[in-house]
Amino acid sequence: MKIVSVILARGGSKGIPFKNIKKLCDKPLISYVIQASKNSNVDETWVSTDSMKIATVAGAFGAKIILRPDNISTDTSQSEEALIHFAEKKDFDIMVFIQPTSPLIKPEDINSGLEMMNEHDSVFSVTKNHWIPRWTMDVKPYKWDIKNRPMRQDKPETYLENGAFYITKKKSLLDSKLRYSGNIGVVEMPLRRSFQIDTLEDLKLVEKIL
């Protein structure tokens, strides 16, 4: 049973240029997830990128590199396109898709998900979400009645996809063309480690946590 991780790290980023190798506490952002993967039960850690600059940084931290074609590295490209590209090129049984923007992930999170793959086809990371009043951009209550405001404890808790990682079998990925399918399980991560870095403000916030 061969387990690989795949970290997708595009060179282009509208929010922060070369975000994936931006320094976070004096280390490239991508290095945190590479190290988490290498310290987990994953057999091989790969970075899929269209950028030689990112490839050089990722390689220095021990990741294997697969170069991704430009046509699946645009702003509108879906992650699944790059995952399928990898799956068609490389041999493995289980893939752990890790987002480079989740530097607070730990090896134990990945291992917990891998343990669940004996009974599931796919697993992904979540954090618990308590109900709070949400509003549309034109300031209308979103799926609740302003005249009958629910009590938080009367609303069921839900899981919020935190985007840290997704695990699936190679066959499931190639058959469904999706990062998760079939019998799906979740690994719960605490809110304090569920932050995604998309802006400079996010970067500063996570620096304080680290």
Q: Which residue shows structure tokens 């069921």? A: 156
How far is the C-alpha of 86 from the C-alpha of 41, rounded, in Å? 20
How far is the C-alpha of 46 from the C-alpha of 4, rounded, in Å? 7
CB-based contacts of 63: which residues, under 8 Å, 6+ apart? 7, 34, 37, 45, 46, 47
CB-based contacts of 207: which residues, under 8 Å, 6+ apart? 24, 25
Task: Look up 10 and say whether it is catalytic.
Answer: no
- Beta carbons within 10 angstroms of residue 208's beta carbon: 7
Q: Which amino acid is at 139?
A: V
**Cα dist. 110→97, 117, 139 in Å?**
10, 11, 39
Which one of 10, 134, 149, 192 is the catalytic residue? 149
Q: Which amino acid is at 58?
A: A
CB-based contacts of 153: which residues, under 8 Å, 6+ apart? none
Cα angle, residue 176 at apex, residues 172 and 182 outer, rounded to 5°: 60
Catalytic positions are 149
